[in-house]
Amino acid sequence: MYERALFAVWLLTLVVFQNTESCELRPVLAQVPKRLPAGYLISEGTEELTLKGCAAKPVTFTSSDPDFAVNTDGTIVTVRGLVITTKRFSVLVHDERGLDWRVDVILSCKNEAPQKSSSAAHKRIKRRWRPLPFNLVENDSPPFPKDLEMIASDSSVNYTVHYEISGQGVTTEPVGLFILIKETGMLRVTRSVDREQYPEYKFIARVYDQNGREVDEFLPITVIVEDKNDNAPEFIGGRVFTVEERCRAGTFIGKVNATDKDLANTLHTKIKFTLLNATDMFSIDPSTGVLTAKTNTLDREAQDKVYVNIEIRDMDGAPNGLFNRGTVVITLTDVNDNPPTFKEKLYKAKVQENQENVLVTRIPVEDKDLVNTPNWKALFEVTKGNESGQFRMETDPKTNEGLLYVIKGLDFEKTPVVQLEITARNEVPLVGTDATWLSVPLELSVGDEDEGPEFNPGVLYLKVKENVPNGTVIGTYKALDPETKSSNGIKYYKMTDPGNWITVVENTGELKTANTIDRESPLVHNDKYNITIRAVDESKKIGKGMVIIQIEDDNDNMPVIPGTDLVICNKGDTLSSVLVEAVDLDKPPYSTPFIFELGAENDGKWKLKDKTDSSVVLEQAVVMPNGLYTVPILVKDLQGIGKEQTVNVRVCSCEREENGAGVCGARSASTSLGSLGILALVLSSLLLLLLCLLLIFICSTKRDKLYINDDSGTGGMLLKSNTEAPGEEVKDGALMIIPGGDVVDGSLQSGGMDIKNVTSTAGRYGQQFIQGGGVYNTTTQDFGTEKYYTSGRYDNNLYGNAMFQKFSNTSALDTWKTNGRYLDRKLAYFGDEEEGRYADDLLKTYGNEGAGSLAGSVGCCSLLGEQESMDFLNTLGPKFRPLADVCYTTKKTGI
């Protein structure tokens, strides 16, 4: 009876499931042994538990009997050992759509013998070391701890074992979440878990015998935390957007972003977006959160910011889904959808006549667009009544008002009231509206005032032929009083006349020529010459007028050839030519076309061809050598007025031609410097510069005073010197040592002599000598027609022109100086004449000369004779030459 009742329940359940889903779920029927050990495999992946044939797939399994567990693949195993005869329980299958399915499990006993003889149970138990991941529902309710799964090793058949676990959730964070009953292998959880914190846990299980020996390999265990919809969706990202007003419906505004911490790609995280207000203005995509404009009538002027409330709900918006609400701010940006409008339908203003550049009135406008933007700023224009350009409109940048200005004076007598139309527009065109720019009428009254005389017309045009005689009346220019329309009492004066060509008769306004009117004058532009006239009435009011004189041309200029120096390139036997152009300041018919002819003095070597209105080609009639030629050419204008002009033509070898004109090369007689010549010039310039610097250095160098000892007791001797010029160590007592130049009371005194720079006159001596005594000095002497440069001369005074001066006094100093004069002349003489006159070689006493000289003894020059006798100079022999070479450097130059 009980079995029948269960069967009826099963049938009812099946009918319910069939009504709910088209798939067919049947109960799980299995035969098992009476004694079931822990971990016994009841069924493996049954079709009923995997919902085969149904549209949905299972997610979790829950057993109604705690003695049995269901793995994630639908496998039913025992949690602990038990003895049964029959066993019935159910498994609740939760699918991915959130629906729950119930499957009944009916177990019946079978014979023990086949069960014991079968190895299937052992094989299945052995597979428990490789179980599928365990499942654990997050946020499970107490009490804790709760049994989770049973783990077992097939080694328990042969050994008395115990189990241990370690790893995440056991010995590492979160520590103590899982515990294990060592003897049975039951895995238990001690508290609720949060999938968003730890979506899964991985640890290992080990099995040991009583001796603590590990009898099987360790078992990796993965516990997957099943998701519960315990997190409501949240907004992420910005929620402030902008869109133009008057935008088209469907315009993208922005995207609202949200997230959910629950398991991705499930209903727990499938969010639906819903607008809670402003649904007439905006719309949102329920699955993506994209905001768009729903209408094309968004108006910033009505509401510039819209606060839109949005709900986000998971479970795809199902009522049992979790939700959040937030606000999105949508700012409407401005477009020019409002034209400026006038506050009045008619504006009136008043202005005095003849006033210029004055503000007449202000015209205010209103604009609903955003202030201080191009959509708001107004531009004003006088669209009617300003045909003569008397008005100007501007905009006040602060108030946006229109400012009406009069730029040309108005005339009350002509128009007492002026009707204007003012149009206002923005800086940018109108957008998204059918409105147009608006206009308003303006009535401007002109005030009357006493005015000065007015010229009529304001500008007088006169035609005058140039070169008319002075005093010729060319016209009359009168002014009228605008009040009386009369010219009585008005006087006329000239204001501007650049060339002083016109005079104005004061009482009549007649215009007469005062100087020659020249159309070709630089004061004339486009044949026009302007003067201004001032009219003054009896009340001293002034009127101004302008006279434009149109000057007619007269044939007062002849054609001329401006460029009379021409160049023809010599091309050997080929006849060359050059273009000759003429100009005439007059206008046709008094100028072009010109008539070109060769002059009467033409030598027949030239001819003219290819005539144009203002030019002709001058060509060689015969081949000519290079040179300068003169060609007479007669040029006349169209009226036959002209003159003969001479053209200078240079025939040369051209180095190039530019625009048909030749450029002569360097003449053959000239010398062109090559690179070596230029280098020589540069080096010469540098040497000259160095010479100048040397002279400056010599002249500016401070000379030390030279002290000369008057000790004549030492014997003179020549010392070996490596210098080419006389050495500083030459100390011949007779020739080289001179008493001091200071004489006091007729006696000699030794002392220093100052070197001075003196420019010699006669005798052309050098620029330096010692005044007051003798010292070495490089000089130049003139003897006859030849020059000699000497050095080591003793001198105090200058002599020249081969004239000898003897000192008048008889002191020893004078005697030494006189001997020095003779020696100088003799040395210079020996340097020029042949060696035909020598003195006898006399035996003399000399000082030690050191090493022997190639010339032998210097002979008679070692000692001097009498102080007053100069005869010894005529008897100097060949031994004097070496001494002369030592003391002098001789160079012969021509005059």
Closest CA to 755 of 813, 700, 812: 700
Is the N-terminal amide bond of 220 cis, ω within 30° of 0?
no
Q: Identify the helix (H) or strand (E) that includes residue 743.
A: strand 742-744
617-665 pLDDT, tens digit per residue, is 988 888 888 889 999 999 999 888 898 899 999 999 887 777 667 788 7
Q: Which of 98-102, 440-444, 723-727 has the largest mean confidence?
A: 440-444
Distances (CA, A) of 204 to 60, 210, 221: 23, 20, 5
Stretch 424-452: mean pLDDT, rounded?
Answer: 90
Q: Which of 94-108, 125-139, 740-754 has the largest mean confidence?
A: 94-108
104-139 pLDDT, tens digit per residue, is 888 887 654 333 333 333 333 344 454 567 888 888
Closest CA to 528 of 592, 440, 459: 459
What's the CATH number of domain 1-118, 2.20.25.90, 2.60.40.60, 3.30.460.80, 1.10.3720.10?
2.60.40.60
287-340 pLDDT, tens digit per residue, is 999 999 999 999 999 999 999 999 999 999 999 999 999 999 999 999 999 999
| pLDDT, position 869 | 53
**Alpha-carbon span 873 to 838, nearest angstrom:** 10
Strands 473-476 and 257-259: unpaired
Stretch 144-151: mean pLDDT, rounded?
Answer: 86
| pLDDT, position 86 | 82
Distances (CA, A) of 174 to 29, 134, 203, 221, 227: 41, 17, 12, 16, 18
Stretch 557-576: mean pLDDT, rounded?
Answer: 86
Q: Which residues of 681-715 are buried (b: 16+ CB within 10 A; e: fewer)?
A: eeeeeeeeeeeeeeeeeeeeeeeeeeebeeeeeee
Conformation bin of residue 540: beta by default, left when phi > 0, alpha when psi is -120 to 50: left
Q: Identify the helix (H) or strand (E) that includes residue 813.
A: helix 812-832
Give yes or no for a contact between 594 and 614, defined as CB atoms under 8 angstroms apart: yes
| pLDDT, position 33 | 84
Strands 565-569 and 642-652: parallel
Closest CA to 354 of 414, 411, 407: 411
CATH 2.60.40.60 is the classification of domain 234-333: yes
Closest CA to 196 of 232, 146, 242: 232
Q: How many helices (H) and strands (E) does the chain have?
A: 6, 61
**Alpha-carbon span 501 to 125, nearest angstrom:** 136
pLDDT band at 390; cut points 50, 70, 90 = very high
**Alpha-carbon span 661 to 651, nearest angstrom:** 12
**Alpha-carbon span 579 to 659, nearest angstrom:** 11
| pLDDT, position 729 | 44
Stretch 198-222: mean pLDDT, rounded?
Answer: 89
CATH topology of domain 341-447: Immunoglobulin-like (2.60.40)
More confident residue, 862 or 154: 154
Q: Say what percent of the chain tops pLDDT 70.
A: 70
Structure tokens given for 128: 């428990």
pTM over 0.95: no
CATH of domain 454-550: 2.60.40.60
Identify residue 127 by its one-letter amino acid code: R
Q: Quick one: DSSP state of residue 362?
A: E
Q: Which residues of 62-80 are buried (b: 16+ CB within 10 A; e: fewer)?
A: ebebebbbbbbebbbbbbb
| pLDDT, position 406 | 95
Q: Do the domains 1-118 and 132-228 sit in the same CATH topology, yes or no?
A: yes
**Alpha-carbon span 338 to 80, nearest angstrom:** 84
- Per the DSSP assignment, residues forming a β-bridge with 349 are 444
| pLDDT, position 750 | 35
Q: What's phi and psi for 544, nearest 5 deg?
A: -125, 145
Q: Which of 64-73, 249-258, 454-463, 767-776 has the largest mean confidence?
A: 249-258
**Alpha-carbon span 429 to 230, nearest angstrom:** 56
Q: Which of 99-108, 324-333, 602-611, 730-739 has the largest mean confidence?
A: 324-333
788-836 pLDDT, tens digit per residue, is 334 343 344 433 333 334 444 445 556 666 677 767 766 666 555 444 4
Give yes or no for a contact between 305 and 331, defined as CB atoms under 8 angstroms apart: yes
What's the CATH number of domain 565-664, 3.40.50.150, 3.90.180.10, 3.40.50.1370, 2.60.40.60?
2.60.40.60
Closest CA to 99 of 139, 54, 137, 56: 56
CB atoms within 10 A of CB 112: 11
Structure tokens given for 155: 């080694």
**Alpha-carbon span 22 to 54, nearest angstrom:** 7
- Domain ranges, ordered by start, for the chain: 1-118, 132-228, 234-333, 341-447, 454-550, 565-664, 673-702, 706-894
Average pLDDT, the chain: 76
| pLDDT, position 745 | 39
Check pLDDT > 90 for residue 424: yes
More confident residue, 88 or 399: 399
pLDDT band at 667; cut points 50, 70, 90 = low
Stretch 463-471: mean pLDDT, rounded?
Answer: 91
336-382 pLDDT, tens digit per residue, is 999 999 999 999 999 998 889 999 999 999 999 999 999 999 999 99
Homologous superfamily of the 132-228 domain (CATH)? Cadherins (2.60.40.60)
